[in-house]
Amino acid sequence: MSTISLKSVRKSYGNTEVIHGVDMEVNDGEFIVIVGPSGCGKSTLLRMVAGLETVTDGEIHIDGQRVNDLEPMDRNIAMVFQNYALYPHMSVFDNMAYGLKIAGRPKPEIAERVQSAAKLLQLEDYLDRKPRQLSGGQRQRVAMGRAIVRKPAVFLFDEPLSNLDAKLRVQMRLEIKALQRELGITSLYVTHDQVEAMTLADRMIVMHDGVAEQIGAPMEVYEHPKTRFVGGFIGSPPMNFLSRRSLVDAGKLLAAKRPELDGDEDAALGLRPEHLSLTTPSKAMIKATMQYVEPLGAETLVHTRLATGESLTLRLEGAAKVPDPGSECNVSFDPAHVSVF
């Protein structure tokens, strides 16, 4: 069993608190993604689990053992960094074996573990090469292999794909998820990319200004964001936010189908782009002006503006035909999909 427990974990630098009490129970074999914008505290939280940052208050438990005062080497964790952190003068084999050699493991065991990890990561043909002779994706595999050979209780990933190009990130994302499932190792993964979070996570922690705004399964967080920040950060394009005053034309229908929304005039209403259409006027309707269109092949993004000055983005399937820029249009939506903040 490899579990992680965060109990009211806080971190301060002097009088400045950067992590404001995070509580989380990570199950054995679970893949948890910590996601948020730069400066939100996600890497600091990961580094506290790793032992690279001290915990100001609260407790961290790994496999039921309190690890606040343990050195990183004593926590049975392995970390994969953004910059690979490979020794340039060593071969792939030696990079992967280095930690085992330092630990004094027997040579036959080291060779067996490295060969096994190399086979798993398709690095068997590169064991004699130096890091400079490898592509970015291959270097990241070596960094992962170095972590795998240690057979840790927990994997910690700190934005491991940030240095890769877009196509390679997609490929490596799939490989990391498949690898984690095969090995069944409990994992914490930090990223600022909400697409990585949605596709990799069993559950995600959405961080904002040192606060865990929401913890849940990807689709739960996407469909039922608890805060306006979460609604706007998770999803691409992001959720549209409108004031109730923008929905004068749709107000009666909205109040009839969702009476709980008929109240605070200052409440922000959230609508996902895919829940909007330019079709039937039988649903709740908003008058808008066409701005510009982004045809993406499998989908079309339509950007409109309301009389109030608020913008509204729609995601339509396929190569949709839409009115010309500058023309008036009616945007319809289903009140069931409205979120309130």
The strand pairing partners of 216, in sequence order, are: 204
**Digitized pLDDT (tens) for each residue of the chain, 341 residues in all:** 689 999 999 999 999 999 999 999 999 999 999 999 999 999 999 999 999 999 999 999 999 999 999 999 899 999 988 888 899 999 999 999 998 998 889 999 999 999 999 988 889 999 999 999 998 888 988 998 998 998 899 999 999 888 888 888 888 888 888 888 888 999 999 999 999 999 999 999 999 999 999 999 999 999 999 999 999 999 989 999 987 766 655 555 555 555 556 555 667 888 999 999 887 555 557 888 889 999 888 999 999 998 888 889 999 988 878 888 888 888 888 777 888 88
pLDDT in tens, 140-198: 889 989 989 988 999 999 998 888 888 888 888 888 888 888 889 999 999 999 999 99
What are the residue boundaries of the structural domains of the chain, listed by start? 4-233, 240-340
Identify whether the C-beta of residue 226 lies closer than 8 Å to the C-beta of residue 214.
Answer: yes
Q: Which two tokens stand for residue 177?
A: 């998820």
Residue 76 phi/psi, 5-degree rounding, is 55, 45
Query: Distance from CA of residue 237 to its chain's centroid?
Result: 15
Q: Which CATH class is domain 4-233?
A: alpha beta
pLDDT in tens, 1-34: 689 999 999 999 999 999 999 999 999 999 999 9
Identity of the amino acid at 58 = G
Read off the DSSP letter of residue 152: -
pTM (predicted TM-score): 0.88
Report the CATH fold assignment for 240-340.
OB fold (Dihydrolipoamide Acetyltransferase, E2P) (2.40.50)
Query: CA 82, 146, 83 angle in degrees (round to 5)?
Result: 15
